[in-house]
Chains A and B, each alone.
Chain A
Amino acid sequence: MLVAEGLVKRYGARRALDGFDLTIEPGEIAGLVGHNGAGKTTFVEVVTGLVRPDSGRVSVGGMDVRRDPRGARQRLGFAPQELALYVSATVRDNLRLFAALAGLRRAALHRAVARVAEELQLTGVLDQRAGLLSGGQQRRTQAAGALVGSAPLLLLDEPTAGADPQTRAALLATVRDRAAAGAAVLYTTHYLPELADLGATLAVARSGRVIARGTQDDLVRGLPGELRLRLGGTEPLALPAGIAGRSRVIDGELRVASTDPPADLATLLAAGCSPVAVDVRSPSLDDLYHALAPEVSRAA
């Protein structure tokens, strides 16, 4: 549904996109993650046709965005990162406009508005001005504008930024439903647990290109988890050489980065370690993110 190949976009000397490749299949939710400035939003703007790439190509449903931008736009629903609502109009008026621009008319339009309002728990505020809604309701209205046309490609750029848990849950459930119905979804976010909830595949962007792409299991596999031991004694522990370099002690807890926790635990016990509690933490998307974008970890 979405194919981007070798996209390059320069702003002066800076390359916002530098050979950006990404393919998303129908029914797939692709989580695009990366630090600020990695090229996520520029990529979304290129797909919508708002920004022309210097080179490379991108197509939506087989329609080349540069040659037939309108044909491509007819196949996508877009929720930008910044709130973009007509604040003096009602929620219903906002959704009617985006439904009409997506090609819906009369009864189909009214049905689509009612449906997306129900999905995102906006039915009760349909006739309220968008500017008078809570932040979470505005976020849901923003997303509803992208979803109301039932486009085969959804571009959701940080749709839950600053959203409350209710908004997040409603939005994630709706996105999952749309993907199950066959929509391809590009979902950019800094909240990595959302991508686990969505069962999204991952694309990790850095410096204007995708540096890792695959399922969460594929990408996390091979990353070290953490073996955590709460130590009982007060005497210093001489760690085996193979473990010392991967260990740190935080608040009396020995933490060992480990791809094989049982083996490391056995080694530690054999070395005389006598923990009062043992915990094993599996590698997470956070670990993946920090492993692939080390500059972010250092900044943090």
Chain B
Amino acid sequence: MLPETVRSPAPPPRPALPPRPARPPRVIVVPQPDAWRAALARTGAIVRHNTILMLREPGPLASRIVLPLAFLAILHPLYEAAQGRSAGVGQAVIATLVTFSLLALSIAGGSILTERIFHTWERVRASAARPAEVLVGKAVPVMAALLAQQALIVGFGVVVLGLTVTSLPLLALAMVTWTLALLALGAALGVLARSFAELSAAYDIGGMILSSLGGALVPLAAMPGWVRHVAPVSPGYWVAAALRAALRGDSAGTLSASAALLGFALAFGLVAAVRAGRGWGRSARM
């Protein structure tokens, strides 16, 4: 009971409200500085661990980095013959970057599927790490690998083939937003695939379809009319558009295409988050 001096006067009578269902109060825990440090340390540990996992099985990473350079070195004369030197080199670099970065979905999807198959996902979920820490910890090494792959392809184009990059910041923006879309798409495949065979089929077939449909391998102008109509449903279309705009220094074109890529990233990321939230423990299979 409150002391007399602080007791409020009796409130006026109010109409009776229907009873509310019992629900625990919503608690929002704001991390304190120590909690932030602990979260950073946990995230760092997950980044370190996933980097080790990727480097212990370097085959997929190495092939995704070496193959595109070989592809570019062999096929760029074809593109130059078809489109002229400058445009041909640009198209060859974009075709290689889009096609092989889509194939690199295996790295993103595989890192999640591996955790599922070996039951480590549930074990890490049962630790003190927040879901965001786990996701960031898994994404950072894969993102670094995907960006390194793209940087190598562009670097090869600039140094060996004489590719002209008008705006490096725009190119970086296009590459980063594309990488985010790839990460989210890879995560979605990683949570939905039931086996490595399924995942392999998805990124092999899907990657080739998405890059072809988007006009990355062959310019849309040279494709059938129906392809031009459906091309925008493919993220490959938007990354090709973003890269072309970035190479010629077109800010508006790069920004709009990059925004579309972020939209794909959000959509795929949502699918991955919803499915991952249900877990894969024994109870989730009941």
Contact = CB atoms under 8 A, between A and B. Distances in A.
Partners in one complex: yes
Contacts of A85: 118, 120
Given A100-B41, A101-B42, A86 B49 contact: yes
A121 interface: no
A50 B126 contact: yes
A243 to B, nearest CB: 47
A81 B283 CA distance: 12
B53 interface: yes
Given A86-B49, A100-B45, A51 B283 contact: yes
B24 A103 contact: no
B120 A98 contact: no
Interface stretch (B127-135, B174-182, B198-206, B247-255): B127-135
A90 to B, nearest CB: 8
Of A78, A86, A93, most B-chain CB atoms within 10 Å: A86
A76 B123 CA distance: 12
B23 to A, nearest CB: 12
B128 A70 contact: yes
A141 B119 CA distance: 14
Given A11-B283, A89-B53, A80 B119 contact: yes
Contacts of A115: none
A103 B53 contact: no
Interface stretch (A23-31, A40-48, A203-211): A40-48
Contacts of A279: none
Contact of B41 (A67, A68, A81, A105): A105
Interface string B109-130: 0000000001110111111111
B24 A101 contact: no
Of A11, A84, A103, most B-chain CB atoms within 10 Å: A84
Given A80-B122, A93-B49, A96-B45, A67 B283 contact: no
A278 B16 CA distance: 79
Contacts of A42: 283
A8 B123 CA distance: 23
Contact of A45 (B24, B129, B281): B281
Nearest to A50: B281
B4 interface: no
Contacts of A67: 24, 27
A233 to B, nearest CB: 56
B67 interface: no
Interface string B27-55: 10100000000100110011001001100
B122 A84 contact: yes
A48 B281 CA distance: 12
A73 interface: yes
A48 B52 contact: no
B38 A103 contact: yes
Given A86-B118, A100-B45, A16 B283 contact: yes
Contacts of A49: 126
Nearest to B54: A88
Contact of A101 (B119, B127, B281, B282): B127
B286 interface: yes
A50 B120 contact: no
Contact of B123 (A9, A84, A88, A102): A84
B39 to A, nearest CB: 10
B56 interface: yes
A298 interface: no
A217 interface: no
Contacts of B283: 9, 11, 16, 41-42, 45, 50-51
A84 to B, nearest CB: 4
A216 interface: no
Interface in B85-126: 118-120, 122-126
B56 A89 contact: yes
Contact of A48 (B53, B56, B126, B284): B126
Of B27, B38, B120, most A-chain CB atoms within 10 Å: B120
Interface in A33-82: 41-42, 45, 48-51, 66-68, 70, 73-74, 76, 78, 80-82
A296 interface: no
Contacts of B279: 50-51
Nearest to B127: A101
A183 B52 CA distance: 32
Interface in B272-286: 279, 281-284, 286
Contacts of A105: 41
Interface in B57-82: 57
12 contacts: A11-B286, A16-B286, A41-B282, A42-B283, A51-B279, A66-B24, A73-B127, A76-B126, A81-B282, A84-B118, A84-B123, A98-B127
Interface of B: 24, 27, 29, 38, 41-42, 45-46, 49, 52-53, 56-57, 118-120, 122-130, 279, 281-284, 286
Interface of A: 9, 11-12, 14, 16, 41-42, 45, 48-51, 66-68, 70, 73-74, 76, 78, 80-89, 93, 96-98, 100-103, 105, 129, 145
Give the 4 A-B CB pairs with smallest separation, nearest first: A100-B45, A84-B119, A48-B126, A101-B127
Given A9-B283, A51-B283, A86-B120, 5 more contacts: A70-B130, A76-B126, A84-B119, A85-B120, A101-B128
